[in-house]
Amino acid sequence: MKKAEDQILIIFGASGDLTKRKLIPALFELYLQNLLPKKFAVIGASRSALSDDDFRKRADEFLPDDEKAAEFKKMLFYQAVQNDSADDLIPLKERLETISNSLEIEKNYIFYLSTPPSLYPVIPKHLCENGLSKSDKYFRRLIVEKPFGTDLTSAKELNKQLLNYFEEEQIYRIDHYLGKETVQNMLVTRFANGIFEPLWNRRYIERVEITSAESLGVEGRGGYYENSGAMRDMLQNHLLQVAGFVAMEPPVVVEADAIRNETLKVFQSLRPIKENEVSRFVIRGQYTSSTIAGKKVAGYREEPGVAKLSRTETFVALKFFIDNWRWAGVPFYIRTGKKLPTRVTEIVIHFRKVPHHLFGQEGSQGNNQLIIRIQPDEGILLKFGMKTPGTGFKVQTVNMDFHYSDLADKKVPAAYERLLLDCMQGDATLYARGDAVEAAWKFVQPIINAWDTNPEIPIYGYPAGSWGPEDSDKLIGNGKWRYPCKNLSNDGLYCEL
């Protein structure tokens, strides 16, 4: 893997949880693999009054106590900043100049916005006014964390504001799901294998199912979640982006623009769900109190910061269609929720059944399935029929699987490791583009509008620890959702309880 140019990474919101838990550990892993630029520094920036040593000590909680970590922490610096006016960034600009000169680092800068979304348009404006957003000689890049808008209008406005200060090719809208190895491997699975590529269309695939389940609840973040919900928190961004990789046409070349052009076409081909059709295509739910493994579990409305009569969805299941030549008539199903039996994210390709049951009733079985597991127990599982030993032709389903954990000599990089390195190298393939973000919002906006304006659309309760509202099964009709276990190769309705 090529080395990135010398550069400085500036993290706004550096005293926050994301920096400690994800960003600093990811950078340390890149350091251990000798993937960081030869000359590199990190400047944490936030309102908290910290010294360089204070910032480095905060990193200790998520770093080992060894010589390598001590060497890595020498790259960490801190600068207190306010964000009330452009002048507040002058100390940061001066610090950048000092560190660049003293460490002889080229003035290539990546600005990472790990801040409240209200600051997304503010900080870029101040960077621009200080001459930090553009350079004729050096690169300047901006990483923006989700949420990228809270609806279609706000997403468009945010795009418009950012483009006042940075060019589109400078903006990296991060979606950590796209950094997961199994999502990236989707391209190889589809386009490098003659046994899958010809089958990846309406002729051979009956339906596609994407599940992202969490066993945890809102975990003290009820106040935040009340203004988000499962649709905004997971489906509009993470899971639609995954669907884009599943459904895209082959790009002409493996380059950022070519790949992102194809995922955009998928979003533009999504059949609109009208507000009066929402109840037919979308099921939302909210977890209620229950007992799991003998322990009483609170319902969502009993969580701190949650309204007593809240109608915020903690579960959503969606049926939709992609109106193009490849996928005409093939239903796609997405579900995501909190307080489900296990933590798992996977894609299930349900192939069509054979047209004739040659071996009679005892030879009939369910659809062949290709399961692509994103997390945990990352891997791929193929389910197909084999003859049961003995007389007759009784058919049973067997598994053929591959687990990334079997590659003992290979490290599966964490999502933030991959995405940070890609940005350092100027590769935007796994980052969302502005037009794709807007297209995804355009699709889900009528659903949100219907929920906001029509109180007759139900929100179903489901016991914490179950697989969501029973009504979500009705979306699939004669089929049924796959009920995955933590172990990729196992199936079971409540295997984690």
Residue of 126, 176, 238, 357 marked catalytic: 238
User: Is the residue at 53 inside a domain?
Assistant: yes
pLDDT, residue 299, reads: 94
Same domain, 132 and 189: no
Same domain, 288 and 217: yes
- The torsion angle over the Cα atoms of residues 252, 258, 264 and 266, rounded to 10 degrees, is 20
- Judged against a pLDDT cut of 80, whether residue 375 lies above it is answered with yes
Asked whether 136 and 168 are in contact (CB, 8 A), the reply is: no
**Residue 357 a catalytic site member:** no
pLDDT, residue 496, reads: 65
pLDDT, residue 404, reads: 82
Structural domain count, the chain: 2
Output the CA–CA distances (angstroms, integers) from residue 391 to 319, 364, 382, 396, in the order listed. 42, 16, 26, 14
User: Is the residue at 367 inside a domain?
Assistant: yes
Rg of the Cα trace of the chain? Answer: 24
pLDDT, residue 360, reads: 64
- CATH number, domain with residue 115: 3.40.50.720
Question: Which phi and psi (to 5°) does residue 3 adopt?
Answer: -80, 140
pLDDT, residue 495, reads: 67
- Judged against a pLDDT cut of 70, whether residue 458 lies above it is answered with yes
Average pLDDT in the 186-201 region?
Answer: 92
User: Is the residue at 160 inside a domain?
Assistant: no
Confidence band for 222, pLDDT divided at 50, 70 and 90: confident
Same domain, 251 and 391: yes
From CA 398, how far away is CA 308, in angstroms rounded?
A: 47
**Range of 124's domain?**
7-145
pLDDT, residue 2, reads: 66
Average pLDDT in the 235-240 region?
Answer: 92
User: Is the residue at 184 inside a domain?
Assistant: yes
Same domain, 232 and 112: no
- Judged against a pLDDT cut of 90, whether residue 221 lies above it is answered with no
Same domain, 317 and 387: yes
Average pLDDT in the 433-437 region?
Answer: 94
Mean pLDDT lowest among 196-205, 214-223, 296-305, 444-453 = 214-223
Average pLDDT in the 230-245 region?
Answer: 93
Same domain, 193 and 339: yes
pLDDT, residue 361, reads: 61
User: Is the residue at 161 inside a domain?
Assistant: no
pLDDT, residue 393, reads: 75
- Judged against a pLDDT cut of 90, whether residue 59 lies above it is answered with no
pLDDT, residue 423, reads: 95
Confidence band for 438, pLDDT divided at 50, 70 and 90: very high
Same domain, 37 and 128: yes
User: Is the residue at 251 inside a domain?
Assistant: yes
Rounded percentage of the chain residues whose pLDDT exceeds 70: 96
Residue (of 429, 411, 409, 422) closest to 33 by Cα position: 411
Q: How confident is the model over 255-310, as pLDDT tens digits?
A: 889 999 999 999 999 999 999 999 999 999 999 999 988 899 999 999 999 999 99
Output the CA–CA distances (angstroms, integers) from residue 461 to 239, 299, 310, 316, in the order listed. 23, 9, 12, 12
- Judged against a pLDDT cut of 90, whether residue 3 lies above it is answered with no
pLDDT, residue 1, reads: 56
- Judged against a pLDDT cut of 60, whether residue 363 lies above it is answered with no
- Judged against a pLDDT cut of 70, whether residue 365 lies above it is answered with no
Rounded percentage of the chain residues whose pLDDT exceeds 90: 71
Residue (of 31, 373, 10, 35) closest to 209 by Cα position: 373
Q: How confident is the model over 137-166, as pLDDT tens digits?
A: 999 999 999 889 999 999 999 999 999 999
* Domain final position from 145, 164, 192: 145
Same domain, 185 and 44: no
User: Is the residue at 156 inside a domain?
Assistant: no
User: Is the residue at 151 inside a domain?
Assistant: no
* Domain final position from 90, 120, 145: 145
Average pLDDT in the 469-492 region?
Answer: 86
Same domain, 67 and 187: no
Mean pLDDT lowest among 19-28, 109-118, 342-351, 479-488 = 479-488
- CATH number, domain with residue 461: 3.30.360.10
Same domain, 135 and 216: no
Same domain, 133 and 183: no
- Judged against a pLDDT cut of 80, whether residue 359 lies above it is answered with no
Same domain, 137 and 214: no
pLDDT, residue 4, reads: 85
Q: How confident is the model over 113-142, as pLDDT tens digits?
A: 999 999 999 999 999 999 999 999 999 999
